């Protein structure tokens, strides 16, 4: 079926606001509804690509919570936390590891306007000691309830929207495709338009 001009304009408008310098790294976040909700938030905020560490042989599974967002936010698999962290650091990201400890910094005190990767941990165990040791900064979303942690997708959305808020306040949210390199933009637009 030919691509309608209105559809093309819609794809372009969304890609124009994508940010290659904001991402998430999910360490063994494997429940389909969590993975789905996280990618949906990534899409809503304008995250270009997400990253994940999985056990050998497992594949990501999404459900209807994703609303198709997995199609618009590619999820890159890494064999280990060390590989993922090294790859993101090579790309210039500062890694913020979510950690429910007393020495983690309140996320509202951090500057997420530079290249930012939020590292989120498994539903049951949280971030591994390996990942915790490798991140640049441990952060926490302060809570005052009876339950000790947030759902991982809620924590991800909270952090991503704070990053978006800071970038909007600083006038740093792209609106004409400047959030990714020109050749990357053209390639992604083609992939979206002609899947």
Helix axes 152-169, 32-45, angle to 10 degrees: 10
DSSP state of 57: T
Sheet strands (E) in the chain = 22-27, 50-53, 75-78, 94-98, 105-106, 116-120, 137-140
Q: Does 128 bind ligand SAM (CB under 6 A)?
A: no
Which residue in 128, 137, 149, 166 binds ligand SAM (CB under 6 A)?
149
Q: Which of residues 92-111 bind ligand SAM (CB under 6 A)?
A: 98, 100
Q: Which stretch binds ligand SAM (CB under 6 A): 62-70, 81-89, 145-153, 164-172?
A: 145-153
Please state the closest distance from residue 190 (CB atom) to ligand SAM, in A. 34
172 binds ligand SAM (CB under 6 A): no
Q: Which of 109, 107, 90 is nearest to 98 (CA)?
A: 107
Residue nearest ligand SAM (C-beta atom): 126
Chosen residue from 3, 105, 133, 143 binding ligand SAM by CB under 6 A:
143
Complex with ligand SAM: residue 39 or 173, whichever CB lies closer:
39
**How far is Cα of residue 49 from the mean position of the Cα atoms in its chain?**
7
**How far apart are CB 152 and ligand SAM at their closest, in Å?**
4
Q: 154-157 contacts: CB < 8 A, separation 24 or more?
A: 155/98, 155/120, 156/24, 156/37, 156/38, 156/41, 156/42, 156/118, 156/120, 157/37, 157/38, 157/41
In the list 35, 66, 85, 127, the residue contacting ligand SAM (rule: CB under 6 A) is 127
Q: Which of 42, 6, 14, 4 is nearest to 188 (CA)?
A: 14
For 99, the 3-state DSSP assignment is coil
Q: Which is nearer to ligand SAM, 97 or 179 (CB)?
A: 97
CB of 18 to ligand SAM, least distance (A): 23
DSSP class of residue 180?
S
Stretch in the footprint of ligand SAM (CB under 6 A) among 50-58, 84-92, 136-144, 181-189: 136-144
Q: Which residues bind ligand SAM (CB under 6 A)?
A: 98, 100, 120-121, 123, 125-127, 140-141, 143, 149-150, 152, 155
């Amino acid at each position: 079926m030919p691509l309608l001009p209105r559809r093309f304009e819609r794809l372009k408008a969304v890609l124009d606001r994508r940010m290659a310098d904001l991402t998430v790294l999910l360490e063994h976040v494997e429940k389909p509804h969590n993975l789905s909700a996280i990618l949906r938030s990534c899409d809503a905020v304008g995250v270009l690509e997400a990253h994940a560490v999985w056990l050998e042989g497992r594949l990501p599974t999404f459900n209807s919570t994703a609303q198709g967002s997995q199609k618009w936010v590619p999820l890159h698999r890494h064999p280990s936390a060390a590989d993922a962290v090294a790859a993101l650091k090579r790309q210039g990201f500062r890694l913020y590891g979510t950690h429910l400890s007393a020495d983690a910094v309140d996320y509202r005190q951090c500057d997420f306007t530079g290249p930012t990767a939020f590292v989120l941990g498994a539903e049951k165990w949280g971030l591994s000691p390996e990942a915790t040791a490798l991140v640049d900064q441990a952060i926490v979303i302060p809570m005052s309830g009876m339950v000790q942690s947030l759902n991982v997708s809620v924590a991800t959305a909270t952090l991503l929207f704070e990053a978006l808020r800071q970038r909007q306040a600083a006038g740093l949210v792209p609106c004409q495709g400047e959030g990714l390199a020109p050749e990357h933009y053209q390639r992604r637009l083609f992939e979206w338009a002609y899947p």
